[in-house]
């Protein structure tokens, strides 16, 4: 999948293996990088991968 691919809410939930409503709430709160376009959430694969990488690095720092 190219890094500039747009993902739907359902695709992000599936990729992260999270409940759809959990991903929706995270996006609404600004905890997950995305954009609401005409009442539909869209996410770029690159943004989701960067977000996930930041989460991993933050956790490593917290443990250290």
Question: For 55-58, which contacts have Cβ atoms below 8 Å and span 24 or more sequence positions?
Answer: none
Domain ranges of the chain: 6-63
pTM: 0.82
**21 with 59: CB under 8 angstroms?**
no
Fold of 6-63: Multidrug-efflux Transporter Regulator; Chain: A; Domain 2 (1.10.1660)
Q: Which is more confident, 62 or 31?
A: 31
**Pairing between β-strand 6-8 and β-strand 35-37 as defined by DSSP bridges:** unpaired
Using one digit for the tens of pLDDT, what is the confidence trace for 5-19? 999 999 999 999 999
Q: Which of 50, 49, 56, 53 is nearest to 1 (CA)?
A: 49
């Amino acid at each position: 999948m190219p890094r500039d691919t747009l993902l739907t809410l359902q695709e992000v939930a599936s990729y992260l293996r999270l409940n759809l409503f959990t991903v929706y709430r995270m996006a609404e709160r600004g905890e997950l990088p995305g954009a609401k376009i005409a009442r539909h959430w869209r996410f770029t694969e690159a943004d989701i991968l960067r977000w996930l990488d930041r989460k991993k690095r933050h956790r490593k720092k917290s443990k250290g």
